[in-house]
Structures are given as C-alpha cells and as structure tokens.
Amino acid sequence: MEFKVTSSPHLPSSQHTAAIMRRVIYALLPGTAVATYFFGWGVLINIGLAIAFGLTLEAGVLALRNRPLRPTLSDYSTVVTAWLLGLALPQLAPWWLTLVGMLFAIVFAKQLYGGLGYNPFNPAMVGYVALLISFPAHMTTWLHPSSLMETPLSFGQAWQVIFSGHLPEGLSWDSLSAATPLDAVRTNLSMHHALPEIFANNPGFGVLSGVGWEWVSVAYALGGLGLLATRTIPWQTPLAMILGLSLPALLFHWYDPTQYASPIFHLFAGGALLGAFFIVTDPVSGATTPLGRLIFGAGVGITTYVIRTWGGYPDAVAFSVLLLNMNAPLIDYYTQPRVFGKGKGRDA
Amino acid sequence: MSSDIQAPALHRFHGGLHLPGHKTESTQQPPQNALLPRHVVLPLRQHIGEAAEPIVTVGSQVKKGQVIAQSVGYISSPVHASTSGAVVAIDDFRTPHPSGLATRCIVIEADGEDRWADHLPAPLADFTAEDAVTLRDKIRQAGIVGLGGAAFPTAIKLNPQTADQRGIHTLIVNGAECEPYITCDDMLMRRHAEEIISGIRIVQHILNPQRTLIGIEDNKPEAIQAMQQAVDKADLQTTQVIVVPTRYPTGGEKQLIKVLTNLEVPSHGLPADIGIVCQNVGTLLAIHNAIIEGIPLIERLVTVTGDAVAEPQNRYARIGTPFSELIQACGGYQGNVERLLMGGPMMGIAVVSDEVPIIKSTNCLLAATPASIPPPSDPLACIRCGECETVCPAQLLPQMLYWHAHAQDFEKVQDYNLFDCIECGCCAVVCPSHIPLVHYYRYAKTEIWQQEKKRQKADRARRRHEFHLERLERAAREKAQKLAAKKAALEKKKQAQAKAADHSSEDPKKAAIAAALARANAKKAARAKQPQSSDSQTTPAQEDSATESTNDS
C-alpha cells in the first residue's frame, strides 16, 4: 500500500492566527462599550468605518499584488488594526480622516512591507501618527463625556457630523469639545498652575484621571487581563510598559506633587492602558524574546512618560511604540535566551 | 523499600507540551509472540555509523541468530539472521529511512523451521566474573543498538570517555516513553521488569556508577509498580525508580537527564561529558538477553496502533518483518488509512509504502486516518507570537530560526543555534500560522551540511591546484638555477683564459701549461653544454684525450 508522506511533527497545530485576533477583538469589547457610553455613537461609527476602509484597501492591494484575498482578509488582523485606530480617533472625526489613517496603516505600514508578519511598525500607530502630524486640529477635537453634556448626540446626528462635517442646529464645537485630561494638565501647568489647583477647578477630572476617560481605561485593562488569562498576550510587555510609565511618574510625583502628576493619573489617562494591553503586545512589530519584551515594554513606558512630561505632545504612546519598533530587531538580537546546555546554569 | 538514599528532587526543562496520550488503545492485551514472516529484509545499516559488511552470499543457508553481516570499524554493528532460511538477494531495497532511498539489504527466504544457529555465544551464568571489555564485546557481537529510536551502537555508549572527574557517576534508565501512542517500553517494563533489572546490573558492572535512576512518566502506573518491585527484589541499593511528570519530550535523553539530575548535557556534547550514561529499557532487556540468555538482537517489541489499525496492540516482531505483515497480524487496516508512520506522531517518519522492514529502531507503527492526523493546512505568515519559543525544550528562538531559514541566511540561522534543535516538533504543534517549522530547520541543516561538503571539496581542489602551481614554479626555479650555474662557470672560464693570456707574455713555459689547461677547461665546458646523451659520442679521436680524462676525474 502507498501512503502520503509528510514531515514530522504529524499532529495538527492546536492554534490559529485568526482565533488569536478574534480573542483580541473580544477583549476590546468592554473598552469599546464604555467609550461608546461616555462619548457617544461616534466611537462605533469610527470603528465601523475603519474596518470597512481597511478591508477594502487591503483587498485592493492584495489584488494588485496578485495575492489570494481570503486567507488575509479572514485572519482578522486588519479588523484589529482598524478597531484600534477607530478607538484612537476623536469621536466625531470626519470620515476622510479615518480613510487617510487606514490608508497609512494598511497600505503603507502593512501591505507595502509585505503584509501581516512583515511590517516593522505597528500599522495602527503609523496611521495614528500620520494623522496627528498632518491634521493636528482635527485630531485634537475631543468631545466632552456625555455625562457633562446637556443633550448627547443621537446616532443619526453623529453620522451626519462625521459625513458632512456640519454640526446640528444650535450646537458649536466649542460647546461640544474639551481638552483631554492630559492636555488640560499640560496646558495649565504651562500657565504655572499647581496640580491640586488644576484638578480642583476643572469639572472634567474624576477619581483616577478624567471623567469618562478613567472608566474607559479601566475597561481596557479588564479586557487586557482577559487576554493575559487566556495567554493570548505575554505578560512581559504590558507589565514592563506599566512599570516603565508609572515608576518615573512615582519618582517625580514624590519629588514634586504640584508639578508632576501621579502614576495613577498617568496610567488611567490617554492611551496608556490601551497601549499596554493591545498595542505594545503586537507581536509582529515588537520584540519577541522574553527579556526583549521586558525591554521593549519598559522602553515604551519610559518614552511615553518623557514625552508627556517634557515633550511637545500631551500623549505619546504612539510615538513611543514607533520609536521602540525601530529597535525591536536590535533588542531581539542582544537578548537571545541561554540555549540548553550552553554557558552558565549548565551545572545549576 | 530497599533504597536507603533519598529520592532526589525533580527538576524542569524549559518548554515542552502536554499532548493527548493515546496510550490505552495499544495496552489492552498482552503482547503476542512474533509471527514467522515468509521472508525478512535485513538492512546492513540499521544503526548510526558504518554499514555492516555481508559475510554470506546469495544462496547461503543461514540459521536464526547467525551473523550474516559483520561490523566495519568502531562505530558499527553486526546484523544477525532473524530466522532460518536461504539468502535470496543482497541488493538495494526500500527501508524506513527519512530519505525514502533504497539501501543495501540481505533478504532471507524463511524455511519455516526457524532453527537456531549451532554456534551461538554461550550464555553467561555469572556475568560478574567477566570484565567490562568482555561484556562490551558480547554486547557488540549481539548487534545491540539503542532501541529507543536513535540506534547508536550500545557497546560504544558503554565505553564512555568522560571529562568528569568523578567518571561515570550516574546511570539513567529511560522508561519515560513520552511520545503519544507508543507503549512498547511500558509493556516491556510491565512484563519484563526483572530482566530489565538484570540488564541494569550488567551495565552497572561495566560502568560502576554511584547511582542509577530509572525515570518513568507518571502515566504508566503498572510499569512503575513492576519496576519498583523488581528493584526491591534484586535489593539494589543505589538504584531508584523515579516517577517523572508526563510532559513531552521528557523521554529525550537531554531532557530526562535535566529532570532527574538538573545537569545539562553541553551543547554539541554527550551525556558522558558530564559523567552520565543513559540507556533505554528496551536496550537493557536486549543486553540481558545477549549476556544471560546468549540471544542476539533478532526480535523486538513493536507498538502497532492508530485509528486505522483494526486491533491496536504490542507485538513482538522479528527484525526484517515487512510492516504489511505485522499490520495484517494486528487485524489489518480499517477506515481511510492515509498515513503510516514509523515512530510516534511527533518525531516519527512517514513511509511511502508498507513494504519496508521492521528494523532495530522500529518502536511503533502508527497507521492513521485524516481524522487523527489531518493533512497539513496552508501556512500563513509568521506573526512572531513567540508561542514556539515558550515550548522549545532547547530554549531556542524558533521564530528567528524560521525567519532566517526561510530567507536562506544560513550564517544567521547558525547564530541562533540551529544545531541545538532536537526536532521534537513542539514549535510546529503550537504555531498558530501552521508553519511546518521543523521542516525548515531540517532543510537549513541539510543545506549547511551540503555547503560544508562543497567547501571541503573546493578546499581539496584548491590545495591540489596550489600544489600543482608550486611544482611548476619549483621546476622553473631549478631550471633557472642550473642555467645560472652554467653561466657562472662560463664566466669563470673566460676569466681564466684572459688570465692565462696575460701570464703567457711573462713565461713561455708557464704559458704553455696554462694554454693546455685552458684547452682542457674549454673542452669540459663544451661537454657540459652538450646534452647528457651526447656524452657517449665523445671519442678517443678527440684531441687531448689524456688531459681530458685526468680533468674529468
């Protein structure tokens, strides 16, 4: 009798890339729900648009590259990228902003480098940074949390704003938008106010950071813990990033609490926890050795703190991730684990 | 408990996997005796090392246990007839080798009488009276190789060169059998514990280790109990049965040593380098059979299992029995049989045909339908998730090895320690992108070996060429030296002539002598200029032959 010949091991693989990506999406659901609760339908519309644009753009590039569409479009990696960018955009960002962001993320950062697995930079962060640099006004028009608004926008109104750019009758951008907690702290500090005073005088600050923002961050962290529990992401990168951000924050806050915000504030404001659990954990563009992941995460955390505190932008997760992406191959090369039977520990 | 020494703490190796065992399928019934095959095909190389050299010819009548091929060189092993009959062919046949290529085999057509050879080595009632050299030689003559799968000649493993000051301090008995489906070692330990202990005592006598650790995975309670009873019965003070957690690949030599002793075999080294020798339980039983019973290695226990085998079981099989006959004896195939493996699903070799023989290292035949071993799915791109790295028992970075092997960067791939890979397959089984990682590593290793061979060949050619050039140069140099010497001689002669001319004006007598000398010299020079063969043409008729002869001397 004749048989099929294949190379060992013959057991089938127990895991699947698409399943990993789906788990990441499930873990994003609590954060997405809370963000929608506080900031309105625009959050969901942004995510939906980003997914639609992302898949369309990816299909277009794959067709140009003569690659089969199904395996790539069904691996959910573009959906994850789109979801992350959608969450990072201002809630009423015009539709073309999302399109340009996804163009940079999917076409330039991902497909032009060869597609999933070959991109040296995190696609969502490339898209975000491209937008932040090119359209700073649009990218910093953030809404008040709904709880501070008199009449929250309906789904139809949000849709209309995103596609036409015109606000409904009687509403102005000034009345709808507010600085993010990080931005508020930054601006007020530059006007030589002390931190306790800033927090006390601004109704936008809550228990942990900003009203609304703090609970979105908590929800991201919950989703992230789910990813850790299912071993979808390694523990090293999130932990290192959280420590890399909060340890310097703790040190400076202890040195001068009127000038330097607490580590709690830093963690629950801006993109810190979204970054720690969902962005620095991108395996493709990050470091891949156990020690390398610690260095990578810590690097992102420290860089974020430095730019937030002394740099030109209120938040800096995206910049820090891209800076560390550049160093990932170097980090990997110099952090190879000790091979079995080599060097120290052999006679442990 | 007879062991007075404390059980050592167990240790962990990095990575590894919990795999579904599938062991009970083949342990429901006791192993049956070997059937008598119609013919046996005995490859001359069933072991690591040089192929054995046939000492029979086509037409020879052979008997069971008779040596039919002798070992060649140190790392080699003889082959014995596994039944009686006539040698009908010595030719290339397909064997269960990963390459699928045919290798040289001796084919015996069985006469059905299965008669033992007359001059088998005598059984040794008291092996303790023999020295290590004699015992090793007997083990070598019995054709025993590592039966766990590696098939390295056992006698060599029992003659270790160790850098450890303590010498060989630990003998490790490998009864872990970590790979799914395989149960032959389990069955041997359940049924032949005392003989295995006897084999252990022989090896202890040869190596004189301070302690012996028998490692058995905790999914084999019957085997553990049987071995413990046998150790107690034999009252071995320094021998311990140690239950180790079930975790693939604990049965790997390096991994089992790590678990039992926390010592790591050096990269590219051998267990003997750290004072350890490791033997599989099947090999120890074969040693007992060879020394105590006088029976060479002509038979072994084989697990025949898989969802495409009608009656999965363990069965003794003569070496050389075709796979097909053994599977027929186990009820034949059932269902949509698509794959036939020699060995387990993690490291086994897929064979093209079941018309290949059981060899010494055949521990398992696994016939599978796509339900248990599906065809490989299409690989996706590596996303560097690092799952492979967390399960790698060699603590490598499989994702980096893959990256560089895929890019054919064979230098980089060695930077990442490709040759420390034991090909256990853990990385591929957890890969979410379904990349056949081990296949890439084998490819890279083969390419590097090939390049190394080519480089050596090129080096040889270059050295030959350089030698050729040097020879030409030397010839040219010698020629030039000869020419220069002649020139110098000529110069000298001219000067002498000129001098002679000067002297002649002073003294006519002196001048006459000088003139005669000069003539003679000129003659000599002229002769030197002529080719060698022209020497004989010189005749006495030539002038001043007398002077010439005196000058010549």
Closest CA to A347 of B258, B135, B498, B197: B258
Closest CA to B179 of B146, B214, B220: B220
> Picking from B301-305, B333-337, B341-345, B515-519, which range would have the lowest pLDDT averaged per residue?
B515-519
Question: Cβ(A95)–Cβ(A162) under 8 Å?
Answer: yes
Evaluate if residue B502 carries a pLDDT over 90. Answer: no
Q: Do A27 and A123 fall within a single domain?
A: yes
Domain residues for the domain of A200 are 179-335
| Residue B13, amino acid | F
B197 confidence band (pLDDT: 50, 70, 90): very high
Closest CA to A284 of A124, A92, A86, A79: A124
Evaluate if residue B148 carries a pLDDT over 80. Answer: yes
Q: Which residues contact B260 (CB under 8 A, 6 or more apart)?
A: B8, B10, B11, B172, B213, B215, B242, B244
B534 confidence band (pLDDT: 50, 70, 90): very low
Q: Average of pLDDT values for A11-40?
A: 94
Rounded CA-CA distance B346/A199 in Å is 61
Shortest Cα distance from B185 to chain A (angstroms)?
21
Q: Is residue B274 part of a domain?
A: yes
The answer to whether B180 faces chain A, any CB pair under 8 Å, is yes
From the number of C-beta atoms within 10 Å of its C-beta (0-12, 13-18, 19+), residue B473 rates as: exposed
Rounded CA-CA distance B321/B298 in Å is 10
The answer to whether B431 faces chain A, any CB pair under 8 Å, is yes
Q: Is residue B546 part of a domain?
A: no
A272 confidence band (pLDDT: 50, 70, 90): very high
| Nearest neighbour of B254 by CB, restricted to A11, A20, A340 | A340
b/e per residue, A187-197, with b = 16+ CB within 10 A?
A: ebbeeeeebee
Q: What is the CA radius of gyration of chain B?
A: 36
Give helix then strand counts, H and E, for chain A.
17, 0
The answer to whether B384 faces chain A, any CB pair under 8 Å, is yes
Closest CA to B196 of B179, B174, B177: B174
- DSSP bridge pairs for B316: B301
The answer to whether B458 faces chain A, any CB pair under 8 Å, is no
User: A13–B341: do the CB atoms touch at under 8 Å?
Assistant: no
> Picking from A209-213, B59-63, B237-241, which range would have the lowest pLDDT averaged per residue?
A209-213
List alpha helices for B424-544, DSSP H: 426-430, 437-504, 508-529
Residue B337 CB-half CA count within 13 A: 24
Structure tokens at B235: 């009252």
Q: Do A158 and A186 fall within a single domain?
A: no
Q: Is residue B460 part of a domain?
A: no
B522 confidence band (pLDDT: 50, 70, 90): confident
Shortest Cα distance from B192 to chain A (angstroms)?
31
Measured between its terminal Cα atoms, the distance across chain B in Å is 100
Q: Do B234 and B307 fall within a single domain?
A: yes
Q: Do B187 and B311 fall within a single domain?
A: yes
CATH, residue B310: 3.40.50.11540
Q: Average of pLDDT values for A310-322?
A: 93
User: B353–A3: do the CB atoms touch at under 8 Å?
Assistant: yes
Q: Do B391 and B319 fall within a single domain?
A: no
Structural domains in chain B (count)? 2
Shortest Cα distance from B301 to chain A (angstroms)?
23
Structural domains in chain A (count)? 2
Contacts of A291 in chain B (CB under 8 A): none
User: A10–B373: do the CB atoms touch at under 8 Å?
Assistant: yes
Shortest Cα distance from A86 to chain B (angstroms)?
22
pLDDT of residue A154: 87
How high is the mean pLDDT of chain A?
92
pLDDT of residue B543: 43
pLDDT of residue B387: 92
pLDDT of residue B509: 73
- DSSP bridge pairs for B87: B108
Q: Checking DSSP bridges between strand B276-280 and strand B170-175, what pairing results, if any?
A: parallel
pLDDT of residue B545: 44
Evaluate if residue A50 carries a pLDDT over 70. Answer: yes
Contacts of A19 in chain B (CB under 8 A): 432
pLDDT of residue A147: 62
Q: Do B323 and B399 fall within a single domain?
A: no
Q: Do A191 and A306 fall within a single domain?
A: yes
The answer to whether A271 faces chain B, any CB pair under 8 Å, is no
pLDDT of residue B535: 45
How high is the mean pLDDT of chain B?
89
Evaluate if residue B313 carries a pLDDT over 90. Answer: yes
Q: Do A22 and A119 fall within a single domain?
A: yes
Express each pLDDT in B438-488 by its tens digit: 999 999 999 999 999 999 999 999 999 999 999 999 999 999 999 999 999
Evaluate if residue B504 carries a pLDDT over 70. Answer: no
The answer to whether A6 faces chain B, any CB pair under 8 Å, is yes
Domain boundary among A177, A195, A229: A177
pLDDT of residue A148: 61
pLDDT of residue A150: 66
Q: Is residue B487 part of a domain?
A: no
Q: Could you give the percent of chain B with pLDDT greater than 90?
A: 78
Q: Do A123 and A249 fall within a single domain?
A: no
Q: Is residue A3 part of a domain?
A: no
Q: ipTM of the predicted structure?
A: 0.88
Q: Do B178 and B37 fall within a single domain?
A: yes
Q: Is residue B504 part of a domain?
A: no
Q: Do B335 and B398 fall within a single domain?
A: no
Q: Is residue A341 part of a domain?
A: no
pLDDT of residue B414: 92
Q: Is residue A9 part of a domain?
A: no
Q: Is residue B351 part of a domain?
A: no
Q: Do B277 and B415 fall within a single domain?
A: no
Domain boundary among A146, A177, A208: A177
Closest CA to B106 of B50, B49, B149, B67: B67
| Nearest neighbour of A8 by CB, restricted to B269, B348, B353 | B348
The answer to whether B348 faces chain A, any CB pair under 8 Å, is yes
Shortest Cα distance from B372 to chain A (angstroms)?
8
B533 confidence band (pLDDT: 50, 70, 90): very low
Closest CA to B16 of B464, B450, B346, B440: B346
User: B430–A5: do the CB atoms touch at under 8 Å?
Assistant: no
Q: Which residues contact A279 (CB under 8 A, 6 or more apart)?
A: A84, A122, A124, A125, A271, A317, A321
Q: Is residue A217 part of a domain?
A: yes
Comparing alpha-carbon positions, the chain B residue that sits nearest to A346 is B264
Q: Which of residues 117-156 of A touch B (CB under 8 A)?
A: 117-118
Q: Average of pLDDT values for B242-257?
A: 95
| Nearest neighbour of B353 by CB, restricted to A2, A286, A346 | A2
Q: Do A165 and A227 fall within a single domain?
A: no
Q: Do A158 and A209 fall within a single domain?
A: no
B506 confidence band (pLDDT: 50, 70, 90): low
Contacts of A14 in chain B (CB under 8 A): 429-430
| Nearest neighbour of B430 by CB, restricted to A15, A117, A348 | A15
Q: Do B199 and B79 fall within a single domain?
A: yes
Evaluate if residue B97 carries a pLDDT over 60. Answer: yes
| Nearest neighbour of B346 by CB, restricted to A8, A19, A288 | A8
Q: Do A46 and A95 fall within a single domain?
A: yes
pLDDT of residue B507: 66
Comparing alpha-carbon positions, the chain A residue that sits nearest to B378 is A71
Q: Average of pLDDT values for B278-286?
A: 97
Evaluate if residue A221 carries a pLDDT over 50. Answer: yes
The answer to whether A174 faces chain B, any CB pair under 8 Å, is no
Q: Is residue B474 part of a domain?
A: no
Q: Could you give the percent of chain B with pLDDT greater than 70?
A: 93
Structure tokens at B521: 């010299």
Sign of CA dihedral A315, A320, A322, A323: positive
Question: Cβ(B7)–Cβ(B240) under 8 Å?
Answer: yes
Domain boundary among A177, A206, A233: A177
Q: Do B394 and B337 fall within a single domain?
A: no
Q: Average of pLDDT values for A10-33?
A: 94
Q: Do A63 and A210 fall within a single domain?
A: no
Rounded CA-CA distance B315/B187 in Å is 10
User: B395–A338: do the CB atoms touch at under 8 Å?
Assistant: yes
Express each pLDDT in A227-271 by its tens digit: 999 999 999 999 999 999 999 999 999 999 999 999 999 999 999
Shortest Cα distance from A57 to chain B (angstroms)?
19
Q: Which of residues 473-532 of B touch A (CB under 8 A)?
A: none
Q: Do A132 and A278 fall within a single domain?
A: no
User: B378–A337: do the CB atoms touch at under 8 Å?
Assistant: no
The answer to whether B412 faces chain A, any CB pair under 8 Å, is no
Mutate to test the interface with A, among B339, B383, B438 (most CBs of A within 10 A): B383
Question: Cβ(B249)–Cβ(B21) under 8 Å?
Answer: no
Distances (CA, A) of B374 to A5, B209, B336, B339, B380: 12, 46, 11, 9, 17
H or E element in which residue A301 lies: helix A290-310
Q: Is residue A7 part of a domain?
A: no
Domain boundary among B450, B482, B504: B450
Q: Do B294 and B402 fall within a single domain?
A: no
**Greatest alpha-carbon span in chain A:** 86
Shortest Cα distance from A5 to chain B (angstroms)?
5
Q: Which of residues 235-264 of A touch B (CB under 8 A)?
A: none
Question: Cβ(B214)–Cβ(B180) under 8 Å?
Answer: no
Q: Is residue B277 part of a domain?
A: yes
Q: Do B136 and B201 fall within a single domain?
A: yes
Q: Do A294 and A222 fall within a single domain?
A: yes
Q: Is residue A194 part of a domain?
A: yes
A51 confidence band (pLDDT: 50, 70, 90): very high
Q: Do A98 and A237 fall within a single domain?
A: no
Q: Could you give the percent of chain A with pLDDT greater than 90?
A: 74
Query: What length does chain A have?
Result: 348
User: A10–B400: do the CB atoms touch at under 8 Å?
Assistant: no
Q: What is the DSSP string of B344-410?
A: -TTTPEE-SBS-SB--TT--EEEEE-TTTSPPPPPP-------HHHHH-TT---HHHHHHHHHTT-H
Shortest Cα distance from B46 to chain A (angstroms)?
20
Domain residues for the domain of B409 are 387-450
pLDDT of residue A21: 95
Q: Average of pLDDT values for B21-44?
A: 93
The answer to whether B336 faces chain A, any CB pair under 8 Å, is no
pLDDT of residue A133: 95
pLDDT of residue B5: 52
Q: Is residue A5 part of a domain?
A: no
Q: Do B178 and B250 fall within a single domain?
A: yes
3-state helix, strand, coil in chain B (%, to 5): 40, 15, 40
Evaluate if residue B430 carries a pLDDT over 90. Answer: yes
Closest CA to B550 of B508, B527, B521, B513: B521
User: B432–A336: do the CB atoms touch at under 8 Å?
Assistant: no
Q: Average of pLDDT values for B402-412?
A: 93
Structure tokens at A264: 């709690």
C-beta neighbour count of B474 within 10 angstroms: 10
| Nearest neighbour of B399 by CB, restricted to A10, A288, A339 | A288
Q: Is residue A320 part of a domain?
A: yes
The answer to whether A346 faces chain B, any CB pair under 8 Å, is yes
